[in-house]
Amino acid sequence: MPVARILFPLPLPEPFDYAVPDGLDVQEGSYVAAPLGKYERLGVVLELLPDSAGEGRKLKDVGGVYPTPPMTAAMREFVQWAARYTVSHPGHVLGMALRSRGGLEPSPTETVYHLTGESPPRVTEARTKLIEAAEQLGAQTASTLAEAAGVSSSVVKGLAEAGVLRARSMQTDLPFDVPSPNLPGATLTDEQSEAAEALKQAVSARGFSTFLIDGVTGSGKTEVYFEAIAESLRTDPEAQILVLLPEIALTQAILSRFEVRFGAKPAPWHSGLSDKQRRRTWREVAHGRARIVIGARSALFLPFHKLKLIIIDEEHDGSYKQEDGVTYHARDMAVMRAKLEGAIVVLASATPALETVVNAETGRYHRLQLSARPGASRLPDVDLVDLRRAPPERNHWLSPHLIHAMQETLAVGEQTLLFLNRRGYAPLVLCKSCGERLKTPGTENWLTEHRYTGRLVCHVTGYSIPKPKVCPHCRAADSLMGVGPGVERVAEEVRTLLPDARIEIFSSDTAQGGEATRGIVERMEQGEIDVLIGTQIVAKGHNFPNLTLVGVVDADSGMKGGDLRAGERTYQLLSQVAGRAGRAERPGRALVQTYAPDNPAMMALADNNRDGFLQIEREVRAELGLPPFGRLAAMILSAPSAQQVDEIALQIIQQAPNGEGVEVFGPAPAPIAVLRGRHRRRFLVKSPKNIDLSAYMAAWIARLRLPNAVRMSVDIDPYSFL
At 476-529, the pLDDT tens digits run 888 888 888 888 889 999 999 999 999 998 887 776 666 777 788 888 888 899
**Which helix or strand (DSSP H or E) is residue 275 part of?**
helix 275-286
Interval 192-226: pLDDT, tens: 999 999 999 999 998 999 999 998 888 889 999 99
Residue 417: strand, helix, or coil? strand
Looking at residue 1, its pLDDT comes to 79
Interval 398-455: pLDDT, tens: 999 999 999 999 999 999 999 888 888 878 888 888 888 888 887 777 888 887 788 8
Are 571 and 617 within 8 A, CB to CB?
Answer: no
**Alpha-carbon distances of 540 from 196, 273, 349, 448, 535, rounded to whole Å:** 23, 21, 11, 24, 10
538 versus 93: the higher-pLDDT residue is 93
Sheet containing 240-244: which strands, arranged edge to edge?
A: 267-269, 292-295, 240-244, 307-313, 344-349, 209-215, 366-370
**Phi-psi label, residue 582: left if phi above 0, alpha if psi -120 to 50, beta otherwise:** left
Are 222 and 313 within 8 A, CB to CB?
Answer: yes
Are 336 and 130 within 8 A, CB to CB?
Answer: no
25 CB-side CA count, 13 A: 5
Residue 316: strand, helix, or coil? coil
Helical packing angle, 330-341 and 73-86, nearest 10°: 140
**Alpha-carbon distances of 97 from 100, 151, 175, 239, 299, rounded to whole Å:** 8, 45, 20, 20, 9
Looking at residue 584, its pLDDT comes to 59
DSSP string, 74-119: HHHHHHHHHHHHHT--HHHHHHHHTS-GGGGSPPPEEEEEEE-SPP
Query: How sure is the predictor about 36, in pLDDT bands with cuts at 50, 70 and 90?
Result: very high
Which ranges of 236-274 does DSSP label H, i.e. alpha helix? Answer: 248-262
Q: Report whether pLDDT(308) > 90.
A: yes
Give the Cα separation of 63 and 504 in Å (integer).
57
Q: Report whether pLDDT(384) > 80.
A: yes
Amino acid of residue 335:
V
The percentage of residues in the chain with a pLDDT greater than 90, rounded to a whole number, is 57
180 CB-side CA count, 13 A: 8
The percentage of residues in the chain with a pLDDT greater than 70, rounded to a whole number, is 97
Query: How sure is the predictor about 323, in pLDDT bands with cuts at 50, 70 and 90?
Result: confident
* CA 43 to chain CA mean position, Å: 27
DSSP 3-state percent helix, strand, coil across the chain (nearest 5): 35, 25, 40
Looking at residue 247, its pLDDT comes to 76
Beta strands, E only, 165-266: 165-171, 209-215, 240-244
Query: How sure is the predictor about 252, in pLDDT bands with cuts at 50, 70 and 90?
Result: low
Secondary structure, 3-state, 572-591: HHHHHHHCCCCCCCCCCEEE
Which domains, from first to last, does the chain contain?
3-98 (3.40.1440.60), 109-171 (1.10.10), 190-370 (3.40.50.300), 376-422+487-625 (3.40.50.300), 423-484 (no CATH), 630-716 (3.30.70.600)
Q: Report whether pLDDT(27) > 70.
A: yes
The pLDDT mean for the chain works out to: 89
Looking at residue 514, its pLDDT comes to 65
Average pLDDT for 538-555: 82
